[in-house]
Structure 1
Amino acid sequence: MEIKKHYKLYKDGKQWCCTALAAAAVSAGLMLGNASVKAATTTTNDSQTEQVVTPAADSTSQTTDLAAQEKTAQVKDNGNYGWLDSANVVNNGNLQVSGWQATNQAAGKDNRYVIAYDSTTNTELGRTKVNGNLARPDVAKAYPNVVNAKDAGYQATMNNLDWSKVKNVDDHLQIVSRYSNAANGEGDHVDSWSQPINLDKSNNAYLDNFSIVNNQLQVTGWNATNKALGKNNHYIILFDRTAGHELARQKATAVARPDVAKVYPQVINAQNSGFNVSFSLANVDLNHELQVISRYSDVQNGEGNNVNYWYAPKKFTPSNTSNQGNLDNFNLSNGELTVAGWHATDYSQVESNHYLILFDKSNNTQVASIKVTNVAR
């Protein structure tokens, strides 16, 4: 018997099937075998072969749908990313900041602010509105699924800060980058908190004058340091280094020092770091080494928490201790005493007031005294 095979395509759901038909030339006619179809299955017997064919068009559709799902998942990036590139004190109190914040949570929040915050005392020092976003292609490359990443940058100078709210130079200070739906920066908002920022901690000072003037010890100079934050009481202390104890202290009134501010723009109190005080010479031994201390304290009497600057000690006694003089003329006539002479000593550098004293040696009493004007000899 001659058997011939013919193939026929038919569709079962979304799949095309191929059926082999076996035909025999018999007198009784053609007999059709039963076909059984299963997805992704091929069945073969002597009389029938089945194949499952997956259409190319449907495969592409499935791949496209998967890619779309992945893309949709990526677009839903709800992260909040940010970084503070720099924060520097300028002009003795302004804070210049730059950085970026990228987040899809900023949608509908068109008011952008930077806020200076003391996390130690939980106090806001001030805020500045950011006018104009800066292009940040580096951020856009790192966060391609964040819509505002390409313009995430900011740069601002904060000139309205209340530094009196900072209690210590080591307070935990941070910059907050904020997107808000309110004009004042409140309302619904999303924040990015920076890493802590560090203030300059140098202690800078100079003694301009330390001399005896009109029987007073005159002291002028300046002391500029961010360590004075939270310490609003400025004292100048006279210290006897030889004896090892304090002689006196004076509370200083701040004196403007634009020259110091120009040299130390990163120091907040530099603009008003000057002082000018005087001390009585009573109980001061000019043969001892004397030292001036500039102190910023958080209590009224100058004690408590404080930061000190010790200036170089000074001994007022001259190295040449010779004391020479002569009375050239002593004339008592017509009820008047006229005297002339000279008195030479390096002690005059620290004791500049020159007096002549008439003394009754017999009674050990002073009769009279007069301040004289020195003449060249």
Structure 2
Amino acid sequence: MTKEHKKLYKKGKLWLTATILALAWGIAAGGGTAAADTNNNQPAVTATVNQPAAGAASNLSTPANNQTAPTPSTNYDHQDQGNYASLDSVKLNNLGEVEVSGWHATNASVDRPNHWLIAYDQTTHTELNRVQVKTPDDRPDVTKVHNVYNADQSGFHGQIELGADPIARGDTISIISRYSRDAAGNQDYVDYWFSPFALDHRNVAWLDRVALADGQLTLAGWHASNQAANKPTHYIIILDSSDHNREIKRVQVDPCKRPDLARVYPGIMKAG
């Protein structure tokens, strides 16, 4: 919905009417006032991703000879060849990092002490970033279901920076949990690939208030979109729709805090 305002001005002996149109980049702004939390559509990135009990097959390379394997506990099923994992939560935070938590348990981690979380861009087929799990989370619940090596210490949580461009494009991302003998996680590893998720690519906005007095137009509202992740400069542009959308004026916007939007759009970077 577009909000129009009529303004009278004099040209010679005639009084003419100009229609003023308020636009923000790429949106149709709504007139009147609407609370942000009336929108019930949630971004896909905030959804919990559950994996089946039997995970993806292990991806093993040639063992490294210069690594010392830890002494494994004997209190687990050595014959279990499964590769088990689950993502409890995944979401994009205000800094452009994907926050992930979950667990990964497998006997293949016995002599692979280095645990990495990797963000892989399925759209461009490139690795975006990785972080090492240095402090595993206690997961006694996993041990009750999967009697494999170190299952009680199989939990993880981390923040992986994605970069502005993949967020702006709305790329599809996969999280990989990797156990490796290599300290950098680049060889002799076993992976679990979690189901991919798409970053929120909506472009949403609203005009809360429009007032025209003494030739001054006052606007208040909001505009949130991951498409702006790599576009740091924000402008409001006023167009005259009765004159082929001729630009009348533009002003640069100083951002205001909107915690209500952060609650409604948790998958949009800097929505708050």
TM-score normalised per structure 2: 0.56
CA distance in 1 between counterparts of 2:251 and 2:177 reads 39
Once the two structures are superposed, the pairs formed by residues 255-266 of structure 1 within 5 Å of their partners are 255-257=254-256, 259-260=257-258, 263-264=261-262, 266=266
Give ranges in structure 1 of 5+ residues lacking alignment: 1-73, 272-377
Report what 2:164 is aligned to.
163
Structure 1 residues 123 and 212, CA gap change in structure 2 (3 angstroms): farther
Give SS of 1:131's match. Answer: coil
Provide the rounded CA distance (Å) in 2 between the counterparts of 1:181 and 1:238: 60
Partner of 1:172: 172
Larger Rg: 1
Q: Percent identity?
A: 37
Q: CA deviation at 1:262?
A: 7.3
User: Given that residues 93 and 161 in structure 1 are in contact (C-alpha distance below 8 angstroms), is that contact kept between their aligned partners in structure 2?
Assistant: yes
Residue of structure 1 aligned with 2:114, choices 107, 111, 115: 111
Q: Cα deviation per residue 1:338-365 (whole Å; 9 max; x = unaligned)?
A: xxxxxxxxxxxxxxxxxxxxxxxxxxxx
Determine if contact 2:112/2:179 at 8 Å carries over to the other structure.
yes
Alpha carbon RMSD of aligned pairs, Å? Answer: 3.5
The C-alpha deviation readout for 1:286-308, integer Å capped at 9, x for no partner, is: xxxxxxxxxxxxxxxxxxxxxxx
CA contact (8 A) 1:237 1:246 kept: no
Normalized against structure 1, the TM-score is what?
0.42
Please state how far the C-alpha of 1:87 moved relative to its aligned partner. 0.6
Distance 1:120 1:249, change over 3 A: farther
User: Which protein has greater RCO, CA pairs closer than 8 Å, 6+ apart?
Assistant: 2
Determine if contact 2:180/2:187 at 8 Å carries over to the other structure. Answer: yes
CA 1:250/1:151 → structure 2, altered by over 3 Å: closer, same or farther? farther
Structure with bigger strand share is: 1
Cα deviation 1:298-324 (Å, max 9, x = unaligned): xxxxxxxxxxxxxxxxxxxxxxxxxxx
**Does 2:100 correspond to 1:97?**
yes
Specify whether residues 252 and 175 from structure 1 end up closer, same or farther in structure 2 by C-alpha distance, changes over 3 A only. Answer: farther
Task: Return 5+ residue gaps in structure 2 as ranges.
Answer: 1-76
Change (3 A) 1:172 1:252: farther
2:246 match: 247
Q: How many residues align?
A: 193
Q: Do the aligned partners of residues 91 and 234 (structure 1) sit closer, same or farther apart at CA in structure 2, a change above 3 Å counting? A: closer
Q: Report if the CA contact (8 A) 2:96-2:167 is conserved.
A: no
CA distance in 1: counterparts of 2:183 and 2:259, whole angstroms: 35
State how far apart, in whole Å, the 1-side matches of 2:219 and 2:238 are: 9
Structure 2 CA distance for aligned equivalents of residues 233 and 104 of structure 1: 50
1:88 counterpart = 2:91: yes
Distance, in Å, in 2 between the alignment partners of 1:122 and 1:252 is 39
- 194-203 vs 119-128, greater mean Cα deviation: 194-203
Contact 2:111/2:181 (CA < 8 Å) preserved in 1? yes
